[in-house]
Amino acid sequence: MDVSGSSLFLLDTNTAGYIIRGESPSARDRLRQSLATPGRVAISSITEAEIRYGLELKPGAGRLRAAVEQLLTRIAVRAWDSAAAHAYGRLRAQLKAAGKPLAELDLMIAAHALALQATLVSHDRAFRHVAAFVTVVDWATDL
């Protein structure tokens, strides 16, 4: 998807990690382009929780912690709310009927994107199962 459109981009945990750790110049470039429009990029509070859990496992990682906080000052964190819960119920039932499982936190993030009518940004192949229900794009094309 073109970054000049009007979509909200919801970064999943792996994409946020690639950006934070500088592992994907492509993802960082797409983020920079998207940030030209305020409010265009966000993460789910589920993704923030996963990132903060990772930080707790590395208490001495000051540079990593600073990079996380810098990213979080530039993008919105969207709360996982009742609309996301409704989308989760529908999406989980649809995936179960299709025989396409997805890890719980990934399912919650995908449902959040669905509820927000956002484009999910992920390099994780597991999200191919939700592509029939949620638009998924990969910004980390250089990995």
- The domain locations on the chain are 9-137
The pLDDT, as a whole number, for residue 58 is 96
Q: Are 47 and 12 in contact (CB under 8 A)?
A: yes
Cβ neighbours of residue 18 closer than 8 Å, sequence gap 6 or more:
24, 27, 123, 140, 143
User: What CATH class is the domain 9-137?
Assistant: alpha beta
Which portions of the chain are predicted below pLDDT 50? Answer: 1-4
- The tens digit of pLDDT for each residue in 90-103 reads 999 999 999 998 99
The pLDDT, as a whole number, for residue 12 is 98
Q: pTM for the whole thing?
A: 0.94
The pLDDT, as a whole number, for residue 104 is 96
